Amino acid sequence: MEKIVLKIDGITCGHCVGKVEKSLKSLPGVEVAKVDLKKGTAKVKYDDSKQTIDKLNEAVREAGYESESTSKRWLI
Ligand SMILES: [Cu+2]
């Protein structure tokens, strides 16, 4: 399992948060996707044998926003 932090651009409200979280969670292997609207970040926990960071960023883009991975990791 990997726990990464994505930086997300363009999210402005709860609706955006919901869209991004839904899109990330729809990917196989993604266990947790939690967007922080204030910080403009998403914490994602995923199975790195099933998913890649590129795919995570792609899912955010499909939801209509831009994201990039940061060097940050997170703990439960
Ligand atoms: Cu919004």
pLDDT in tens, 6-45: 999 999 999 999 999 999 999 999 999 999 999 999 999 9
15 CA distance to ligand 1 centroid (A)? 4
- CATH topology (fold) of 2-73: Alpha-Beta Plaits (3.30.70)
pLDDT in tens, 37-74: 999 999 999 999 999 999 999 999 999 999 999 988 88
First to last CA, the chain: 12
CA 14 → CA 37, 42, 50, distances in Å?
8, 13, 28
Contact 67, 6 (CB under 8 A): yes
| Domain boundary assignment for the chain | 2-73
Ion ligand 1 neighbours, Cβ < 5 Å: 12-13, 15-16
Q: What is the reported pLDDT for 74?
A: 85
